[in-house]
Amino acid sequence: MKRIRFLIFIASVSLLPAQNLFPILGGQRSGTSIFSFLKIGVSARAVGMGEAVVALRQDAGSMYYNPATIAQFEQSQLSTSRIQWPADINYDFVGFSTRISGNHFIGISGGILHMEPMMETTEYLPHGTGNYFVFQDKFIGLSYGVKMTDRFSFGLTLKHVNENLAGHQMNSSMIDLGTFYWTGFKSLRFSAALSNFGGQARPEGTYKKRIIDKNTGEETVIDSEFEQFSPPTVFRVGIAMELMSTETQRLTGSFQLNHPVDNAENVVMGFEYLLYKSLALRAGYKINNEEEDLSFGAGFYVPIGPVSLRIDYAFTNFKHLSDPHRISLNIGF
């Protein structure tokens, strides 16, 4: 009965108009942060469920959303992903986590958003100058997780982020914090995580700034520093549980609230149906998200002795841009 009530609650929330649930002013913060690539979902399994995964232990990619999840694995985990982003941009991610002793775990992860070199154009040479420039965003993170009790774990990630746009470098250090708690009621778990928390950053170097005297009209050119902006910090809180579980089938549901500093709050729900521990079908839905709404995914489990191999695919429906595709390979050993 309680599981049915949970499903009714999820369905009723999805039918309410988003403007009745969330303040509309949050959208005015859109575009006010830097390193926006950190908001791109890296795991095909997670994205297939709408990224409502803060309360799910999935694979090494889970520490991207909640570093406390690495303390929930019995096996070492290796995950790699390739995301085909709009405008011929690709995002590659790799993550690894393992137990170092007792209840202590570590993980390392990294990602790079990149594209082919682009030809430089100017007002007088619109077809190109013959010179090329490179755009890259990348990060590397070191995670630590500890299982403090049989129900509660805590984790953190320290990461360095770099952006390179035509030789203009921008660097910053950030921290992720997360918790993971088994409530003791059936399989219900509760989690909260803070991601991309750090200070403001600006591109290195200076640019030429023109100042015009209002009285004389005289123009002065000075070297000025670039403006500072904040990172895309986001707070996530969510629950998850198995809504159905037998020897041959399992249905997992998750519900999550996201509070980003650079956009309006939004709610996400996700579901995963696992058949014969071999085939997984996933779906997710984002409420009050300007660009994304529905997502779908599938996964195939291939056990090879003590090694577990999983291949995942995810599709996201974008309202304005071309729809991105994700493929992930996950190995537990």
How far apart CA 256 and CA 331 sit, in angstroms, is: 26
How far apart CA 193 and CA 66 sit, in angstroms, is: 6
Domain that holds residue 48: 2-119+132-195+233-332
Q: What is the DSSP string of 94-123?
A: EEEEEEEETTEEEEEEEEEEE---EE---S
CB 228, CB 218: distance < 8 Å: no
CB 268, CB 75: distance < 8 Å: no
Tell me what pLDDT residue 263 has: 85
Residue 215 lies in a domain: no
CATH of the domain at 106: 2.40.160.60
Residue 320 lies in a domain: yes
How far apart CA 81 and CA 95 sit, in angstroms, is: 9
Task: Please give the backbone phi and psi of residue 278, each rounded to the nearest 5 degrees, phi first.
Answer: -130, -40
pLDDT tens track, the chain, 333 positions: 444 444 444 444 444 444 444 444 455 555 667 898 999 999 999 999 999 999 998 889 999 999 999 999 989 999 999 998 887 889 999 999 999 999 999 999 999 998 877 777 777 777 777 777 778 899 999 999 999 999 999 999 999 999 987 777 899 999 999 999 999 999 999 999 999 999 888 887 776 777 787 777 777 777 777 778 889 999 999 999 999 999 999 999 999 999 999 888 999 999 999 999 999 999 999 998 877 889 999 999 998 888 999 999 999 988 777 788 999 999 999
CB 309, CB 330: distance < 8 Å: yes
- Catalogue the E-assigned strands of 14-134: 77-85, 89-101, 104-114, 118-119, 132-133
How far apart CA 211 and CA 275 sit, in angstroms, is: 67
How far apart CA 272 and CA 220 sit, in angstroms, is: 62
Task: Please give the backbone phi and psi of residue 136, each rounded to the nearest 5 degrees, phi first.
Answer: -145, 140
CA atoms within 13 A on the CB side of 249: 5
Residue 155 to residues 47, 56, 72, 103, 293, Cα–Cα distance (Å):
22, 14, 11, 12, 29
Residue 267 lies in a domain: yes
Residue 202 lies in a domain: no
How far apart CA 144 and CA 73 sit, in angstroms, is: 13
Closest of 267, 273, 259, 281 to residue 239, by C-alpha? 267
Residue 218 lies in a domain: no
Overall residue count recorded for the chain in this entry = 333
CA atoms within 13 A on the CB side of 49: 29
Other C-beta atoms closer than 10 Å to the C-beta of 98 total 16
Query: What are 19's two structure tokens?
Result: 């403007």
Residue 293 lies in a domain: yes
How far apart CA 49 and CA 285 sit, in angstroms, is: 8
CB 174, CB 159: distance < 8 Å: yes
Residue 152 lies in a domain: yes
Tell me what pLDDT residue 30 has: 58
How far apart CA 82 and CA 189 sit, in angstroms, is: 29
Tell me what pLDDT residue 310 has: 95
Q: Say how many domains are in the chain.
A: 1
Tell me what pLDDT residue 18 has: 41
| Dihedral sign, Cα of residue 95, residue 287, residue 253, residue 104 | positive
Helix (H, G, I), strand (E, B) or coil at 56: coil
Residue 10 lies in a domain: yes
